[in-house]
């Protein structure tokens, strides 16, 4: 795409208002559905339009926090409004789309990814801030290691006809975020409305070809000036609004994680999620299943979700963000701080939708000013380079269970035949029996041709996994995430600390070390289990010792037949006189156990850079697209699940992040 | 494999929720293939058909006899699921707790002494443990089907405990609070109905009862700021799920205000 400001050879053109119908006709001839603004139920909505008559003629809106009303605008003008509650994301990233279908016919199971809907669309009336929003979502959904295939298809096929703003609402703050009101790039055609028509420029070859087929004449100097004057008026109006002091905001905001204002805003916030759903950049989704009664066919669908819902950060047995203040903090810090770390832009483009459509009238500009007050000098600007889409993602693939081994009453190790890439130690897969949600499960052993998963029945999906027998089919995606840093452990002493099921991802590490034992120095494994009956991999501990790995065990509670140690796992260090010099530690277990262990390791002189943990978070996609697993600036699925404590910094063990 | 036995019984209620099962016309045959429907009757009529693998209970407990019956039914049910606003929160008849029960009974029935009723209409969960709830007045057929399907397949049924607002926004409706200043209880109400009322330009009446972290004081304040009279806002809570703890205070205040101004209004 070339820049829209780069005018075609003959300069900007002029399209009379009466000829707008020709544009509609052309777009339709090209087989596109035209989406644009129209008045519905008292608001300007983005719906499919039949013709120019459907546009909101002579309409403007009054927008203030929590309040929106239509008013009379300049007579005859079709784009005198600004932005309503719907955004183009409804069309590029619809509320619900199919992800895939699981079919079961006797023992035969098939996972069929959905075919993306690529019916071509044309967007009429895209504002500068909204072009920026599309660019932000491009980065999120196409710019990572895995691209969203449905979004990619819709986005690529859409023709974008932008309109420059000549008015502004009181909730607009595009100038703060550097996204408007002037259209810079990302559009195929750019219109600027005058009283009797539009000054038009092409922003791409596709746009130029379209203009060549329309009754467009060269714009006069007066028309060009009038267009520029209209946009300048909009800039002046936005600049007079309250704004956001964007420069330096991420660090100011992250320094204010303990501000008392979070609790204050939580009193007003209804955790209703309206802000996130009207926001044109929010991308969080969940995957749900729908099946027929016999379970022969299950449709998995991706649905808009929000960090304000109660189950968003819930995991089996707990919730990382149970308090409303944690949820508001996630929203605000994500939009204005951690998004920058993750994607290189703000997550906010200054459209003001979340301000107007918050029923409690909470204004992000006001909250930011209170929580992270601006420094003196304010500079603006946000650069949005184009992104190259990553290859399309694969959905679940079938994997056959070739062996099962019951570890404890509720933990089973499944061996799956595996043709894919051999997972590294500490990587995980998304795995689920047909018809169930896929759960993140660590690979507890990997070799050519087979992987093992050790699963604790914590809820319905994991219970169904542990109940699978030889020959059953599991849907698997992976290997995913970043595993244990084996290279950091070479020629060093290694300490491994596991609590309960946390031994599963560490087993792959221990075996990787055992396989090349001479490349590591002293290796000590500390194991904690609730009771002797909950110990995992009991038959393998001898082999670890034989390989020169010291294994020490403890249980929280013991019966008479247990002769070993009793007490929580951190107490094992009390028996070790001193921890080995320069050691690297790998820890996995319940979050509280990891916090306690890290404290002890630090106290024994191991620096944060050499303490690694693997974290559990709610995961829906496993590839950085659904947003559920966020911890501050990290996506645990993609950037972790293994992290050093130094990387996590303050985020480790902080309540409500 | 023997089909699981499904029972449907009712207490004080209007039958609307159990009729939802019959509304699932297209799926009814399939359901009957998967489960054996053994009881579909008023809870207080013949009740010999237990035990049940799954018992759907409609209605609230409003007579002493019902209070005994539910304990017995619980014993016979492996999984007991309450369906509808009456069973899960007390229902519209629970409004009686805000009134003088005896005076009310006397004003409605010619022979109040013949009417045996409790001064309360309470949710089933006040009497026995409940395994799952299907909310709504009436319940949503889609949720009922999802619940039955997921239960049969052993997966977690999708009954999200989130605000009605999410369904409203996904449907592309215009927010009636922001665009029209209408009082709407969507932000504090559990989803499930598909946000029907806002789609027709009306505020939500909280048929599905409170959601988790329902910020009732916050919503009352903002609806008043947006131009509604405090009493009108409170009265809105005095509906199908008034007795649900997060709503009860506002509901009581609303009824008191209505009684002070309109008299009969309190007894809608
Ligand atoms: C990187 C990683 C590696 C892991 N490795 C292993 C492993 O090797 N072995 C192992 O046994 N476990 C492992 N886990 C944990 C495992 O993924 C969870 O125990 C599993 O997701 C539980 O799923 P479930 O469907 O059985 O249980 P559920 O309780 O149904 O949980 C399923 C998901 O739904 C959410 N949820 C819970 N309740 C609700 C509700 N009421 N409404 C909506 N959503 C809800 C949960 O937060 C959870 O994410 C790992 C987790 C992570 C993140
Ligand atoms: S955070 Fe608010 S102002 Fe910023 S892009 Fe999202 S909806 Fe618009
Ligand atoms: S986590 Fe971020 S992207 Fe997701 S809903 Fe919240 S603010 Fe929006
Ligand atoms: S900030 Fe407003 S829109 Fe967002 S969840 Fe809170 S009350 Fe709802
Ligand atoms: S972003 Fe979806 S699980 Fe991490």
B186-232 confidence digits (pLDDT tens): 999 999 999 999 999 999 999 999 999 999 999 999 999 888 999 99
**Structure tokens belonging to residue A597:** 């262990």
Whether residues A447 and A501 share a domain: the answer is no
Q: Predicted confidence band at A571 (pLDDT cuts at 50, 70, 90)?
A: confident
Q: Predicted confidence band at B99 (pLDDT cuts at 50, 70, 90)?
A: low
Residue A336 carries which DSSP code?
I
In a domain, A499, yes or no: yes
pTM of the complete model: 0.85
Decide if pLDDT at A213 tops 60. Answer: yes
CATH of residue A429's domain is 2.40.30.10
In a domain, A191, yes or no: yes
Q: Which of A288, A290, A356 sits opposite B178 (nearest CB)?
A: A356
Phi-psi sector, A15: left (phi>0), alpha (psi -120 to 50), beta: beta
Ligand 1 center to residue B49 CA distance, Å?
38
Ligand 2 center to residue A242 CA distance, Å?
14
Whether residues A411 and A519 share a domain: the answer is no
**Matching residue, tokens 């889609």:** B142
Q: Is B218 on the interface with A (CB under 8 A)?
A: yes
Whether residues A602 and A458 share a domain: the answer is no
Decide if pLDDT at A542 tops 80. Answer: yes
Tell me the torsion sign for CA atoms B217, B223, B227, B229: negative
In a domain, A556, yes or no: yes
Please state which CATH class domain B5-153 belongs to.
Answer: alpha beta
Within A288-435, residue ranges assigned H as helices are 324-333, 339-343, 353-356, 364-371
Q: What is the mean pLDDT of chain B?
A: 84
Tell me which H or E stretch contains A233: helix A221-240
What is the structure's pLDDT at A3?
40
In a domain, A141, yes or no: yes
Decide if pLDDT at B265 tops 50. Answer: no
d(Cα B27, Cα B149) in Å, to the nearest integer?
11
Whether residues A346 and A411 share a domain: the answer is no
**Matching residue, tokens 């003008």:** A77
Q: Predicted confidence band at A183 (pLDDT cuts at 50, 70, 90)?
A: very high
Q: What is the mean pLDDT of chain A?
A: 91
Lowest-confidence segment of A103-112, A465-474, B16-25, B194-203 by average pLDDT: B16-25
Contact state of B166 with A310 under an 8 Å Cβ cutoff: no
d(Cα A594, Cα B183) in Å, to the nearest integer?
47
**Structure tokens belonging to residue A583:** 């050691």
pLDDT cut 70: percent of chain A above it: 95
Whether residues A418 and A538 share a domain: the answer is no
What is the structure's pLDDT at A381?
39
Give the C-alpha distances (Å, rounded to integers) separating A128 from A199, A231, A240, B2: 16, 11, 18, 63
What is the structure's pLDDT at B106?
60
Residue B165: name the closest of A360, A274, A353, A275 by CA.
Answer: A274
Q: Which of A423, A451, A480 is the last residue of a domain?
A: A480
Whether residues A365 and A419 share a domain: the answer is no
Question: Do you find a cis peptide bond into A282, omega within 30 degrees of 0?
Answer: no
Determine the 3-state secondary structure of A169 from DSSP: coil
Whether residues A463 and A494 share a domain: the answer is no
- How many domains in chain A? 4
For chain B, the structural domain boundaries read 5-153, 164-260
Residue A337: name the closest of A311, A315, A367 by CA.
Answer: A367
Residue B77: name the closest of B151, B8, B157 by CA.
Answer: B8
d(Cα B26, Cα A245) in Å, to the nearest integer?
57
Q: Which of A438, A456, A480 is the last residue of a domain?
A: A480
* DSSP codes, B195-256: SHHHHTT-----TT-B-TT--HHHHHHHHHHTT--HHHHHHHHSSTTTTSHHHHHHHHHHHH
| Segments forming the whole domain that contains residue A236 | 13-240
In a domain, A495, yes or no: yes
In a domain, A312, yes or no: yes
User: Which residues form ligand 2's pocket by a CB distance below 6 Å?
Assistant: A 278-281, 335, 348-354, 364
Whether residues A447 and A358 share a domain: the answer is no
Whether residues A183 and A310 share a domain: the answer is no
Residues 6 or more apart whose CB falls under 8 angstroms from that of A351 comprise A83, A87, A127, A129, A130, A133, A172, A174, A280
Ligand 5 center to residue A94 CA distance, Å?
18
d(Cα A64, Cα A354) in Å, to the nearest integer?
11
Q: Which of A42, A360, A436 sits opposite B174 (nearest CB)?
A: A42
> What ligand has the least distance to the C-alpha of A361?
4
What ipTM goes with this model? 0.88
Is residue A625 within 6 Å of ligand 5 at its C-beta? yes
Q: Predicted confidence band at A570 (pLDDT cuts at 50, 70, 90)?
A: confident
Q: Is B162 on the interface with A (CB under 8 A)?
A: yes
Alpha carbon B120 to its chain centroid, in Å, reads 15
In a domain, A632, yes or no: no
CATH of residue A606's domain is 3.40.50.80
d(Cα A417, Cα A312) in Å, to the nearest integer?
33
Q: CB count, 10 Å around CB of A274?
A: 29
Q: Which of B212, B213, B218 sits opposite A360 (nearest CB)?
A: B218
Residues 6 or more apart whose CB falls under 8 angstroms from that of A422 comprise A446, A447, A448, A451, A479
Residue A430: name the closest of A276, A300, A247, A334 by CA.
Answer: A300
Decide if pLDDT at A84 tops 70. Answer: yes
**Structure tokens belonging to residue A162:** 């932008």
Q: Which of A219, A240, A261 is the last residue of a domain?
A: A240
Whether residues A357 and A403 share a domain: the answer is no
Contact state of B222 with A304 under an 8 Å Cβ cutoff: no
Q: End-to-end alpha-carbon separation of chain B, Å?
A: 50
- Read off the pLDDT of residues B21-30 as tens digits, 9 standing for 90 and up: 888 878 888 8
């Amino acid at each position: 795409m070339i820049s829209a400001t780069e005018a075609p050879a003959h300069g900007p053109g002029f399209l009379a208002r009466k000829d707008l119908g020709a544009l509609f006709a052309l777009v339709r001839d090209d087989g596109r559905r035209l989406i644009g603004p129209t008045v519905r139920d008292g608001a300007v909505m983005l719906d499919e339009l039949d013709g120019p008559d459907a546009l909101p003629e002579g309409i403007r809106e009054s927008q203030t926090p929590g309040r929106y009303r239509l008013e009379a605008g300049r007579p005859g003008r079709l784009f005198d409004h600004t932005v309503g509650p719907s955004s183009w994301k409804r069309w590029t990233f619809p509320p619900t789309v199919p992800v895939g279908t699981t079919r079961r016919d006797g023992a035969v199971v098939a996972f069929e990814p959905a075919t993306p809907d690529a019916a071509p669309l044309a967007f009429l009336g895209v504002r500068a801030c909204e072009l920026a929003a599309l660019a932000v979502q491009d980065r999120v959904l196409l710019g990572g290691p895995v691209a969203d295939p449905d979004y990619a298809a819709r986005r690529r096929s859409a023709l974008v006809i932008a309109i420059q703003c000549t008015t502004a609402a009181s909730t607009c703050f595009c100038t703060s975020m550097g996204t408007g009101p002037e259209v810079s790039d990302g559009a195929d055609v750019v219109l600027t409305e005058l009283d009797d028509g539009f000054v038009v420029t092409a922003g791409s070859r596709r746009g130029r070809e379209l203009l060549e087929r329309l009754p467009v004449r060269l714009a006069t100097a007066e028309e060009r000036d009038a267009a520029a004057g209209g946009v300048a008026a909009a800039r002046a109006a936005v600049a007079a609004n309250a704004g956001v002091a964007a420069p330096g905001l991420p660090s100011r905001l992250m320094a204010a994680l303990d501000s008392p204002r979070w609790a204050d805003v939580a009193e007003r916030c209804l955790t209703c999620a309206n802000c996130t759903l009207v926001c044109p950049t929010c991308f969080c989704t969940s995957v749900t299943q729908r099946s027929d009664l016999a379970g022969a066919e299950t449709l998995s669908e991706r649905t808009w979700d929000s960090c304000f819902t109660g189950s968003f950060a819930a995991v089996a047995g707990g919730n990382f963000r149970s308090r409303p203040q944690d949820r508001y903090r996630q929203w605000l810090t994500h939009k204005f701080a951690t998004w920058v770390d993750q994607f290189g832009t703000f997550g906010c483009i200054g459209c003001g939708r979340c301000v107007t459509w918050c029923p409690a009238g909470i204004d992000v500009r006001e909250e930011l000013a209170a929580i992270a007050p601006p420094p003196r000098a304010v500079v603006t600007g946000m650069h949005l380079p184009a992104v190259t889409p990553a290859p399309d993602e694969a959905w679940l693939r079938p994997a056959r269970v070739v062996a099962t081994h019951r570890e404890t009453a509720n933990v089973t190790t499944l061996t799956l035949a595996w043709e894919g890439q051999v997972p590294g130690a500490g990587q995980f897969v998304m795995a689920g029996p047909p018809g169930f949600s896929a759960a993140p499960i660590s690979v507890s052993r990997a070799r050519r041709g087979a992987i093992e998963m050790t699963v604790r029945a914590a809820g319905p999906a994991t219970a169904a996994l542990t109940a699978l027998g030889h020959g059953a089919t599991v849907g698997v995606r992976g290997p995913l995430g970043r595993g244990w840093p084996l290279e950091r452990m070479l020629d060093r002493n290694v300490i491994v600390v596991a609590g309960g099921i946390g031994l599963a991802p560490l087993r792959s590490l221990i075996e990787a070390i055992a396989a090349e034992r001479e490349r590591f120095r002293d290796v000590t494994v500390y194991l904690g289990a609730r009771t002797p009956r909950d110990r995992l991999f009991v038959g393998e501990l001898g082999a670890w010792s034989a390989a020169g790995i010291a294994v020490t065990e403890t249980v929280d509670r013991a019966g008479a037949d247990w002769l070993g140690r009793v007490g929580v796992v951190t107490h094992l260090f009390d028996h070790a006189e001193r921890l080995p010099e320069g050691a690297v530690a790998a820890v996995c277990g319940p979050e509280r156990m990891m916090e306690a262990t890290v404290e002890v390791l630090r106290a024994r002189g191991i620096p944060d850079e050499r303490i690694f943990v693997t974290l559990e978070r709610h995961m829906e996609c496993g590839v950085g697209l659904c947003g559920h697993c966020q911890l501050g600036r990290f996506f645990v699925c993609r950037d972790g699940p293994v992290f050093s404590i130094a990387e996590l910094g303050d985020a480790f063990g902080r309540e409500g992040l | 494999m023997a089909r699981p036995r499904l029972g449907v019984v009712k207490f004080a209620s209007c039958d609307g929720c159990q009729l939802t099962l019959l509304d699932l016309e297209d799926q009814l045959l399939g359901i009957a293939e998967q489960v054996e429907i053994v009881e579909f009757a008023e809870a207080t009529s013949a009740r010999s058909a237990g035990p049940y693998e799954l018992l759907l209970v409609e209605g609230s407990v409003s007579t002493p006899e019902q209070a005994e019956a539910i304990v017995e039914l619980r014993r016979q049910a492996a999984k007991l699921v309450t369906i509808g606003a009456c069973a899960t929160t007390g229902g519209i008849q629970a409004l009686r707790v805000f009134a003088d029960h005896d005076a009310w009974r006397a004003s409605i029935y010619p022979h109040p002494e013949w009417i045996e009723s409790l001064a309360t209409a309470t949710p089933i969960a006040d009497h026995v443990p409940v395994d799952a709830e299907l909310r709504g007045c009436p319940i949503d057929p889609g949720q009922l089907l999802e619940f039955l399907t997921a239960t049969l397949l052993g997966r977690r049924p999708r009954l999200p405990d989130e605000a009605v607002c999410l369904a409203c926004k996904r449907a592309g409706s215009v927010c009636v609070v922001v665009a029209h200043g209408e009082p709407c209880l969507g932000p504090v109400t559990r989803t499930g109905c598909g946000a029907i009322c806002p789609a027709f330009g009306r505020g939500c009446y909280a048929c599905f009862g409170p959601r988790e972290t329902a910020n009732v004081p916050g919503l009352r304040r903002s609806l008043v700021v947006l131009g509604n009279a405090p009493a009108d806002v409170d009265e809105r809570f005095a509906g199908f799920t008034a007795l649900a703890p997060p709503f009860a205070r506002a509901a009581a205040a609303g009824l008191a205000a209505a009684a002070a101004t309109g008299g009969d209004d309190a007894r809608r």
